[in-house]
Amino acid sequence: MIKANGKTFLLQGKNYSYAMHVLESGFLQHLYYGGKITETDLDYLIEIGDTNAPHIDMNMDMAFDRMLSEYGFYARGDYREATAVFERKDGASMSRLRYQSYRVEKGAPNVKGMPHVRQGDETLVITLKDDFSDIAVDLYYTVCDDSDVLVRSAVIRNTGCEAIMLKKAFSFRAQLPNGNYRMMRLAGTWGQERIPEIAPIAHGITRLQSIQGCTSHNTNCFMGILKEGCTEDSGECFGIQLIYSGSFALTAEWCKNGPLTLQGGICDTGFSWELNGGEEFVTPQALLTYSGEGIGGMSRSIHDFLRERVINPAYVYKRRPIVVNNWEATYFDFNEEKLFPIIDEAGKLGIDTFVLDDGWFGKRDSDWSGLGDWFVNEKKLKGGLKTIIDRCKKNGLKFGLWFEPEMVNEDSDLFRAHPDWAIHKDGVEPCRSRQQLVLDFTRKDVVDYIFGVVSKVLKENEISYVKWDMNRNITEVYSAQLPAHRQGEFMHRYILGVYDLAERLTSAFPNVFFEGCAGGGGRFDAGMLYYFSQIWTSDDTDGFERTKIEWGTSVCYPLSAMSCHVSVCPNHQTQRITPFETRGNVASLGAFGYELDLSKMTEEEKELTKAQIESYKRTSELILKGDLYRLMNPLEKNYFCVMVVSKDKSEAYVVGERILGIPCDYNQYLYLCGLDENALYKIEELNITASGKALQNAGLLLPKLSDFGSWAWHLKKV
Ligand code: GLA
């Protein structure tokens, strides 16, 4: 609900309130963000605001440093990092934004060309006007009455006739009063994506960013802000994440005894954007989540929000195909003789879809060649895709195919025909990564061409699943098609090109299910999830390493967004040996599948696979729709355990793993969460019936297991 009168603004979500106030001097002051308050509290909050920033003399240096504000300006008395910078023709860029007007709209804004929130209840738009230029900034706040997520973005408009250069254009500023906050980030590297890290926020600016052209393996576009005492299960925290997949920045700035300033959006390093008279620049949306129930509560709110309002509604709650992917089974070295036994076995085991990974096209026998040539390699697959698809159909399977649409190898027909289509700068030796170059997706002709060739393959073959990969960062940020003064637009234009292709392909082929991927989980973000309902979580499928990755990823993405596969042992990434059951249990916490040569499995493994598939069919509703509770953190304990509870609390699924066999650590209890306290539950595997209260308060004794042993329990109300 939104209460607005041009003087005060109060946004009321499910459990949070957000309040602002226009000062006499015309500055938009932030008053409050946190647990629910009422309208009658506004007067007292205004008083606190006045005490904090007693008198804004707008011509005084440092006048704004203690005022909590909604969008910062540059070189005019606010020394916190600017939220946006507008440079005029004469080079001047000082700005001072003051309130001009507001409006309240129904629903959520329809952002064109970028992923966005599909539905919301109401949107408040507050317009600020720069005192020194023709820039107006519209601040967007979309509120959903049944959610704790507030959607923020800014639209920067040039209301004059002369071009203005945006040097920075963040999506939002949010401020919290002086306090002892800690920051949670999801950091890592290839094969170890989104490992949570919590640390105190020190003075100065803490910046999470990617300048790689994608959200990156290293730092996810999420920042958690934890108030003092916040834990997994209790206390207050805030989550900030972007619906964006390109180079981004999220910053937290703290100055002694001052407020904490949170900002973010498109990465400003190297960024600029020419805004001609009458044009506007739309920033990506940021999701701000409040939780009074710890990090776990924040995650559950985000999961619901992404599922209900961001991910494709046609797929979000549909049971995901159980796939077998041939990548780790064959790598590039396959032909029909090698693939048929995998397909035949998949049919017998009850798998839904066979996904043919990298290597089916062009002259793709290694990563040195072929990218860009999206026509079948008939030397390898003599009967083309048709024979493979027919074999799948014979076995009752659907067929999926891998593409890496944004990439090109120098050894490809596409590159030979259009060397200028690869990102490059004449005279600069291009940086190669995995022997490939990136296509210049700032160019419409390039995106159109790729749309045409990928569409042709999808049209001519019975394909129900696409894995869209992206295996390198962007270097030599430059497009010969852009004039010199617009080169700063490259990175954002690149990702707009990716969104354009994703939008066109997913709209043209609504019956094809799309999965995202980027060298594992290098572009795992809410922007990609708008188009691709699930994303390959990581190339690391090890039965233990994955517990940490799943733990961290689930902080701000729902389980159903994570593709998780059972692979062989020794694991190809870690060389570790873990039990087959454990690999299955850990993978069952996401969109499930296999990534191995099914025909080489032992009879025992085949039986286990059948059982895993049966079990997954029973729990998949929970994975798609349930509430997640993280119980034992593998980064802190010798155990991993999470559980999912159905919304009506009639069912639950608990998966855990004992990491190492340490003597005498058996007498440990596991306290379940999220159950109906007064109901009785039967745990099938343990043959225990107990009340929700008992399972939560008295707990369960952990099973005695050796290294990497695991359990999966199904709970049902009796
Ligand atoms: C990336 C993906 C893998 C696989 C390979 C193919 O690394 O993460 O799953 O598709 O590319 O080259």
Q: Which band of pLDDT confidence, cut at 50, 70 and 90, is reported for residue 624?
A: very high
Q: Assess whether the C-beta atom of 593 lies below 6 angstroms from ligand 1.
A: no
**CA–CA dist 20, 37 (Å, integer):** 13
61 is catalytic: no
Tell me if residue 141 falls in helix, strand or coil.
strand
Ligand 1 centroid, distance to 521 Cα (angstroms): 10
Evaluate: CB of 469 within 6 angstroms of ligand 1. Answer: yes
Q: Is the pLDDT of residue 361 over 80?
A: yes
Q: Which atom of ligand 1 is nearest to the CA of 367?
A: 12
Mean pLDDT score, 263-274: 98
User: pLDDT at residue 475 above 70?
Assistant: yes
Q: What average pLDDT score do residues 382-392 get?
A: 96
Considering only CA atoms, which of 52, 261, 255 is closest in space to residue 173?
261
The number of helix segments (H) and strand segments (E) in the chain equals 13, 38
Nearest-CA residue for atom 4 of ligand 1: 327
> What per-residue confidence (pLDDT) applies to 64?
76
Which is the catalytic residue, given 352, 539, 540, 542? 539
Collapse the DSSP code of 338 into the 3-class scheme (helix H, G, I; strand E, B; otherwise coil) and give the result: helix
Q: How far is the CA of 55 from the centre of ligand 1 (A)?
A: 58
Q: How far from 626 is each of 241, 300, 392, CA to CA, in Å? A: 21, 9, 32
**pLDDT exceeds 80 at position 472:** yes
Q: 527 in ligand 1 pocket by Cβ < 6 Å?
A: no
Task: Summarize the confidence of residues 109-125 as an average pLDDT.
Answer: 97
Query: Across residues 425-436, what is the average pLDDT?
Result: 96
Q: Which of the following is catalytic: 469, 540, 597, 627?
A: 469
471 in contact with ligand 1, CB cutoff 6 A:
yes
Pairwise CA distance, residues 368 & 351, whole Å? 32
CA distance 613 to 383: 31
Position in ligand 1 atom list of the atom nearest CA 517: 8
Give the C-alpha separation, 456 to 505, whole Å: 11
Could you tell me if the CB of 86 is within 6 A of ligand 1? no
In this predicted structure, what is the pLDDT of residue 55? Answer: 66
Beta bridge partners of 707: none
pLDDT in tens, 501-546: 999 999 999 999 999 999 999 999 999 999 999 999 999 999 999 9
> C-alpha 547: how far from its chain's center?
18
pLDDT digits 0-9 by tens, 31-40: 999 999 999 9
What's the predicted TM-score (pTM) here?
0.97
Ligand 1 proximity of 517 Cβ (cutoff 6 Å): yes
- Expressed in angstroms and rounded, the spacing between residue 190 Cα and the centre of ligand 1 is 12
Please indicate whether residue 540, judged by its CB atom, sits closer than 6 Å to ligand 1.
Answer: no
E-strand ranges in 247-285 read 248-254, 260-266, 273-275, 280-282
User: What confidence tier does 66 reach under pLDDT thresholds 50, 70, 90?
Assistant: confident
Q: Is 539 a catalytic residue?
A: yes
Tokens representing residue 526 in the block: 């809410």
Lowest mean pLDDT among 2-11, 40-49, 381-390, 410-419: 40-49
Answer whether residue 78 shows pLDDT above 90: no
- Residues paired with residue 403 on neighbouring β-strands, in sequence order: 468
Please check the confidence at residue 61 and state whether its pLDDT lies above 80. no
Mean pLDDT of 18-41: 94
Distance of alpha carbon 412 from alpha carbon 377, whole angstroms: 12
Whether residue 468 has its Cβ less than 6 Å from ligand 1: no
Contact 312, 561 (CB under 8 A): no
Other CB atoms closer than 10 Å to residue 258's CB: what's the count? 17
DSSP assignment of 171-206 equals EEEEEE-S---EEEEEEEETTEEEEEEEEEPPSEEE
How many angstroms does the Cα of residue 468 sit away from the middle of ligand 1?
A: 10
- Residue given tokens 């306090």 in the structure block: 179
Per-residue DSSP letter, 487: G
Pairing of strands 651-658, 709-717: antiparallel
d(CA 300, CA 628): 6
Say how far residue 632 (Cα) sits from the centre of its chain: 23
Distance between CA atoms of residues 54 and 702, nearest Å: 58
Q: What is the whole-number distance in angstroms between the Cα of residue 408 and the centre of ligand 1?
A: 15
Whether the per-residue pLDDT at 57 is higher than 80: the answer is no
pLDDT band at 54 (very low <50, low <70, confident <90, very high): low
Cα gap 17→448, rounded to integer Å: 45
Rounded distance from Cα 364 to ligand 1 centre (Å): 14
Q: Which two tokens stand for residue 344?
A: 């035949």
Percent of the chain whose pLDDT exceeds 70: 99
pLDDT in tens, 216-236: 999 999 999 999 999 999 999
524 in contact with ligand 1, CB cutoff 6 A: no
CA of 471 to the centre of ligand 1 (A): 7
Q: What share of the chain is helix, strand, coil (3-state, %, to 5)?
A: 25, 35, 45
Give CB contacts under 8 A, 24+ apart, made by 424-427. Answer: 424/476, 424/478, 425/476, 425/478, 426/480
Summary mean pLDDT of the chain: 96
- Who's near 22: CB < 8 A, 6+ residues apart? 6, 7, 8, 28, 29, 99
What is the rounded average pLDDT of the residues 562-589? 98
